[in-house]
């Protein structure tokens, strides 16, 4: 529960960030851009936010003011047509199963000239490099050095810092004009960024809210061999878009 200030019924920047589960920097950026209404109070002209405005902001379908044509874009993932602002969690139990959806998804984006992002390290990243080369005829090193494919990771980051880093990357990718962003996160590789699985899931929940502001399609890949059943259950709850699809398509 967010404690609302008694004297005004308004939330300050910190409280608004907690309410939306994003960073205070995100709140300030959205306020400065005119996307999130704010009142200025006191001599220091501090921001205050009405809870009703925050709820409305969560429900806006056009909060980032994208062109209608881009908002209607569809991305094919394993034969399933996904719209932008979709955030799903494929679950797999074999190395090959982990590549079935994500490698063609990235390759299609690279062919289309769309910004692609991959959170993967070590042997998992090597599997992607090999699969992109062998199955899709892409030079992994060339794709990364040219900036078409960005490898990401922020060891030791807080939830707010990790989400703010994604937001900055997305903003930079969109600086050249409207496009679809494609993101693959190998969660067994992202997991060491955080102190616990609970922190990782808090990050997923915050990312879910942030990503809805961008023309992004995100695959958060979960290796069932690495996570407990309890965590996988929470994964499903943190990805409500899964329930609008045929979940069988995302089990590998």
The pTM for the full model equals 0.76
Q: What is the CATH number of the domain that holds 142?
A: 3.40.50.300
Whether residue 230 lies inside any domain: the answer is: yes
The pLDDT score that the predictor gives to residue 23 is 75
89 and 184 in a single domain? The answer is yes
- Number of domains making up the chain: 2
The pLDDT score that the predictor gives to residue 25 is 78
- How far from the centroid of its chain's Cα atoms is residue 71's Cα? 16
What pLDDT, in 10s, does the model give residues 232-247? 999 988 888 888 877 6
The 10 Å Cβ neighbour count of residue 80 is 16
Half-sphere exposure of 56 (CA within 13 A, CB side): 9
25 and 101 in a single domain? The answer is no
- Identify the bridge partners of residue 46 per DSSP, sorted by sequence position: 41
The pLDDT score that the predictor gives to residue 28 is 83
Q: Which of 217, 218, 221 is nearest to 252 (CA)?
A: 221
Which sign does the torsion angle of CA 90, 96, 99, 101 carry? negative
154 and 245 in a single domain? The answer is yes
Whether residue 19 lies inside any domain: the answer is: yes
**Residue range of the domain that includes 22:** 13-59
The pLDDT score that the predictor gives to residue 53 is 86
Using 70 as the pLDDT threshold, list the residues of the chain that sit under it. Answer: 1-8, 33-34, 59-72, 247
140 and 173 in a single domain? The answer is yes
């Amino acid at each position: 529960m967010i404690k609302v200030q008694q004297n005004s019924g308004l939330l300050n920047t910190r409280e608004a960030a907690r309410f939306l589960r994003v960073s205070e920097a995100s709140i300030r950026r959205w306020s400065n851009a005119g996307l999130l209404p704010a009142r200025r109070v006191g001599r220091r002209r501090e921001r205050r936010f009405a809870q009703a405005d925050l709820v409305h902001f969560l429900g806006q379908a056009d909060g980032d003011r994208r062109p209608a044509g881009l908002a209607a874009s569809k991305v094919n993932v394993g034969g399933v047509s996904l719209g932008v602002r979709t955030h799903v969690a494929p679950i797999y139990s074999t190395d090959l199963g982990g590549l079935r959806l994500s490698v063609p998804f990235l390759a299609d984006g690279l062919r289309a000239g769309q910004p692609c992002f991959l959170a993967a390290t070590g042997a998992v990243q090597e599997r992607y490099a090999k699969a992109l080369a062998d199955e899709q005829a892409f030079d992994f090193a060339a794709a990364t050095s040219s900036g078409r494919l960005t490898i990401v990771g922020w060891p030791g980051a807080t939830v707010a810092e990790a989400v703010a880093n994604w937001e900055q990357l997305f903003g930079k990718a969109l600086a050249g004009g409207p496009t679809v962003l494609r993101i693959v996160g190998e969660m067994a590789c992202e997991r060491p960024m955080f102190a616990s699985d609970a922190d990782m899931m808090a990050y997923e929940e915050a990312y879910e809210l942030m990503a809805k502001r961008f023309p992004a399609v995100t695959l958060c890949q979960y290796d069932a061999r690495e996570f407990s059943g309890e965590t996988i259950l929470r994964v499903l709850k943190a990805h409500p878009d899964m329930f609008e699809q045929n979940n069988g398509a995302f089990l590998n």
